Structure 1
Amino acid sequence: MAQDQFEELIEFLHDRNPEVRRLAVHALLPYTAASNPNRTAIFASKSLDRKAGQLKPTILNDLKNLCEDQHITAHDALSALINLTDNDTVSEQVADTDFLTFLLATIVDPSAILADLACMLWSNLTKLNSVCLTCLKLPLVGTSSVLEERSIREKLAISSTPMIDLAVELFARGESKKFNKHANFDFLASVWANFSSFTDGRHYLLGRSPYIKSPSDAPLAQITPFTEHPSVIRRGGSISAIKNCCFATDAHRLMISPKPDGLDILPSILLPLCGPEAFDADDEEHMPLEIQMLGSEKKYESDAAIRTILVETLILLSSTVELREYLRRKRVYRVVQVLHLSEAEDEVREHVERLVNLLMRDEPVTKSVESVQCEELDLVEM
């Protein structure tokens, strides 16, 4: 498409005729793909008041406005922004408070046809810590049938993060289109993974707020049940969030302690690492109840990258003597030893070997916790 034709197309994005707007954004959508060689035409030239990689202001404003247009038009506008926010600079442009409020209101609306696309765009935007911080401060907006429950209303009334709390509720309740027939909310798992990648987000997920009265009320408690969910997006994001929260070493006891005093995350980590093999009775009786007597139909996590994240999570939980002793008592080394026997991926095997070495070695009397962390836990947040 020639430059003059492209400029003409952009003008149609804000035409008064809704059908013209629909056709214009539909024609623009292919140019937003990362693989399109003409994508650069969408971006503004660098200037004194504009960073390289920013969208042209008219396109940015038009696409954001079109997200509130008729469903077909809004679908293509959201899709275009999803494509374009693979760029942090564009994400910074898009993610103002008003637009984030609109996205969250769309997500929590039980009749929203495009809720999942809104989740995908929110997932891209929350890769920026600044966006996560803004979202934590958003007031409650929109309508949701969940708010009909008195307990939820009372919880949100005293919460300092009511909008995000509501999104967590929908993530927990809405999988498999149980809340909104048009949405499964799987991409919210990626949002929680993004939140968990910085300190304030981890504090939120771990329930470090005055209004959280019990570990069972912590947002992470509603995320951990999905580590074996059929959707790789939902379980992968949930597992990444759990792993990142393990970088908060002062929360390890809370995370590993049985309910109701803790989050009891260990069964959720171990279950995907278990296959059809039976454990020795002497070992099995010490393991968490959830992984005992699983039967011959049990399957390992199918995604090697996720298996790696799970083992890395156990390595992070091995950062202190107290936690290593707990993992030994729960026979975690036997679970991963059995996994190692059938594991074909070198990276997973290497991580299992690191973990087994940590758990099986004798504890030096004089070695500090800090030196163990520096030498052994060279892992990165997702």
Structure 2
Amino acid sequence: MAEQPTHELLAFLSPDTRVDLKDRATHYVMGLTGDPEGRRLLASEPELVSALLALTSDCSPCMATDAYLALINLATEPAAHGALREGLPVLLKRLLDPAFPMANEVCTLLSNLSREEASCRALWAALQQESLGGLPALVDAFCTEDFNPEASLHYLGPLLSNLSQLPEARDFLLDRSRCVVQRLLPFTQYSRSSIRRGGVVGTLRNCCFEYGLPLDLQYLPAEKKREPDPDIRKMLLEAIMLLTATKPGRRIVREKGTYLILRELHKWEKDPGVLAACEKLIQVLIGDEPEAGMENLLEVEIPAEVEEQLQRLDLEEEGQLQQHQQGRSQASGSEGLQR
């Protein structure tokens, strides 16, 4: 691919190209985006990204699908974001169209694109168009399972999570008069998709950075069966950890018997990353209160030498987790060879 100038591909992706050649070229480009080097090279060509965006409107479903799949991969490369942002109004209109057949592909593309802050803000701005209905329309689509009979739209969860990194999005989500949090909470137990479930938990966790939050958000349901996905269990623990950043927050979390729940979780938990998050939260709950002036843990200034030490400890912990996971993988492989 490095020897073949990418501009030569543009000729095959233009609307005037023979359908069979255009179809083969689109499929070829889609394959290239599966490789990191291919993605980087293609992402550096805005005209090629724009051509792929145009092909998502092609009358051939196969060609449009290949174009979407290529763009989903290219959206992981920041270099492609400038050209992709140009297509935001059309992409959002398709996402919120309950009859659009490729809404899942659009949703996944926007989820990848919105991971980067500048693109997330551009998506937020595009969403404010009156014809689209803003974030309320996105939340309605997420909370209506059969919003689009042709698409599950599970990736609306990660998309909402990405948007909730913006203060203005959190302001909407935490508006008491809208009751958005109450609508999202049931999806923390959504069994049909860990992607949707993880997205809503990530959204709630991001909302916890607003430590002037409503009481509803401070009590995620603890009943029913445990969350089966370890990554989501860890995010839930991180959300509660954020709630303990202030003295009133720590008091309320303690009063709700959180320690007893965490104690039982710790006995049951096998994932080392979740165990570490659980232990950190327990330490906050059973530890002494910080001295006067340091009650809000999110606003405490950490000395540089202490921050370096904490970062070093985090790296050591991450290394230990990786060794543990590698050990488990090797043990699993050995067991598979036994007769």
Q: Normalising by structure 2, what TM-score?
A: 0.79
Per the TM alignment, residue 203 of structure 1 is displaced from its structure 2 partner at its CA by: 2.3
Match of 1:100 in 2: 88
Q: Shift in Å at residue 2 of structure 1?
A: 8.6
Count of residue pairs brought into register by the alignment? 301
Residue segments in structure 1 that go unaligned for 5+ positions in a row: 44-53, 143-161, 208-214, 258-262, 271-290
State the SS of the aligned residue for 2:189: coil
> By how many angstroms is 1:317 displaced?
0.6
**Residue 190 (structure 2) aligns with:** 229
Q: CA deviation at 1:363?
A: 3.8
Q: Which residue of 1 aligns with 2:251?
A: 325
Q: 2:178 aligns with which of 211, 217, 223?
A: 217
For the pair 1:26 / 2:27, whether they are aligned, the reply is yes
Aligned residue number for residue 370 of structure 1: 296
Counting only pairs closer than 5 Å after superposition, residues 172-183 of structure 1 correspond to structure 2 as 172-174=143-145, 178-183=146-151
In 2, are the aligned partners of 1:91 and 1:124 still within 8 Å (CA)? no
What's the counterpart of residue 337 of structure 2?
Answer: none
Q: Is the CA contact 1:33–1:84 (under 8 Å) kept in the aligned structure 2?
A: no
Q: Which residue of 1 aligns with 2:68?
A: 78
Question: In structure 1, how many angstroms separate the alpha carbons of the residues matched to 2:254 and 2:295?
Answer: 17
Tell me which residue corresponds to 2:164: 196
- Choose from 241, 257, 261 the match for 1:315: 241
Change (3 A) 1:179 1:39: closer
Mapping of residues 1-382 of structure 1, within 5 Å? 3=3, 8-16=8-16, 17-35=18-36, 38-39=38-39, 41-43=41-43, 54=44, 56-70=45-59, 71-96=61-86, 99-137=87-125, 138-141=128-131, 162-174=133-145, 178-207=146-175, 215=176, 217-230=178-191, 231-251=193-213, 254=214, 257=215, 263-268=216-221, 270=222, 291=223, 294=224, 298=225, 300-363=226-289, 366=292, 368-370=294-296, 374=300
CA distance in 1 between counterparts of 2:22 and 2:292 reads 70
The answer to whether the 8 A contact 2:108-2:155 is kept is yes
Contact 1:246–1:316 at 8 Å: present in 2 too? Answer: yes
Q: Distance in 1 between matches of 2:251 and 2:25?
A: 62
Partners of 1:372 and 1:233 lie apart in 2 by 29
Q: Following TM superposition, by how much is the alpha carbon of 1:366 offset from its aligned partner in structure 2, in angstroms?
A: 3.6
Q: 1:195 to 1:265 in 2, by over 3 A?
A: same
Pairwise CA distance, 1:171: 0.6
User: What amino acid is the match of 1:12?
Assistant: F
Give the aligned residue type for 1:307: R
> Offset of 1:119 from its aligned partner?
0.3
**Contact 2:107–2:155 (Cα < 8 Å) also in 1:** yes
User: Paired residue for 1:152?
Assistant: none
Preserved contact between residue 181 and residue 217 of structure 2 (Cα < 8 Å)? no
Once the two structures are TM-superposed, the CA of residue 336 in structure 1 deviates from its matched residue by 0.9
- The CA deviation at 1:116 is 0.6
- Give the match for residue 333 of structure 2: none
For residues 66-112 of structure 1, the C-alpha deviation after alignment (integer angstroms, 9 at most, x for no partner) is 1111232211111111111111121233112xx11111111111111
Deviation at 1:115, TM superposition (A): 0.1
Report the RMSD for the aligned CA atoms in angstroms: 2.9
Q: Does the 8 Å contact 1:106/1:118 carry over to 2?
A: yes
CA 1:69–1:220 in structure 2 vs 1: closer, same or farther (change >3 Å)? farther
Q: Do 1:133 and 1:200's aligned partners in 2 also have CA atoms closer than 8 Å?
A: no
Given residue 266 of structure 1, which amino acid in structure 2 is its aligned partner?
Y
Deviation of 1:318 after TM superposition, in Å, equals 0.8
Contact 2:94 2:106 in 1 (8 A): yes
**TM-score under structure 1 length normalisation:** 0.71
Whole-Å separation in 2 of the counterparts to 1:352 and 1:4: 52
Please state how far the C-alpha of 1:191 moved relative to its aligned partner: 0.9
Is contact 1:135-1:164 (8 Å) kept?
Answer: no
Tell me, yes or no, if the aligned pair for 1:10 and 1:24 is still in contact at 8 Å. no
Query: C-alpha separation between the residues in 1 aligned to 2:281 and 2:23?
Result: 55
2:266/2:278 contact within 8 Å kept: yes
Aligned-residue identity in percent: 28
Contact 1:132 1:201 in 2 (8 A): no
Paired letter, 1:27: Y
Quick one: which amino acid aligns to residue 78 of structure 1?
Y
